[in-house]
Amino acid sequence: MKTQKKISEANRGKPSPNKGKKMSEHQRLWMIEAFKGEHRSLKTEFKKGQFSGNKNPSKRLEIRRKISEAKKGKPLPNFRRENHPNWGGDETLEHERIRRRIEYKTWRQTIFLRDDWTCQKCKSRGGKLNVHHIFNFADFSNLRISVDNGITLCKSCHKKFHGMFGVKNNTRKKLINFLKP
């Protein structure tokens, strides 16, 4: 062990003597045969719960044929747009498009800078911050990127606010009530 460390330290910083050299075909084939089945990395090592060889049922030819026959002629499930269980309609797509716009991103940055990257409820600085719309995003489309309609809240305070007052019908009065100590 000590000898290996000494050799390693002596060679540290030096280029590998084999760098750029090609192995002969005979040498390459010999190495393949010599190290066959040997795992030199934890990534390639056998993982607990894995099946080896033909013990895995889905690897057996007769099982694979049965699966193939069962799937023949059946269309693949189409989980796009309205067929997806989480589909929220075209309205969701519009909200996502708005939030990806440069104007919206600039609005968020402006609010963060104005509030000095500090939650206005718990006064924690940095961390996971959200910009909260004082008048909610869905109902007040004309105020979506108004600097007066945003305030910085940390993730937990933002969650508490919506837990207390819900996501619709937000007002400045509700926010002031929430910000009171």
Percent above pLDDT 90 for the chain:
30
In order, the DSSP letters of 11-72 are HTTSPPTTTTPPPPHHHHHHHHHHTTT---STTTSPPTT---GGGSGGGSHHHHHHHHHHHT
Whether 64 has a pLDDT exceeding 90, the answer reads no
Tokens of 48: 């607990």
Would you say 158 and 141 are in contact if contact means Cβ atoms under 8 Å apart? no
Q: What is the pLDDT of residues 31-62, one digit of tens each?
A: 888 877 776 666 666 565 565 555 667 777 88
Within 10 angstroms of residue 178's Cβ, the number of other Cβ atoms is 17
pLDDT at 132: 93
pTM: 0.51
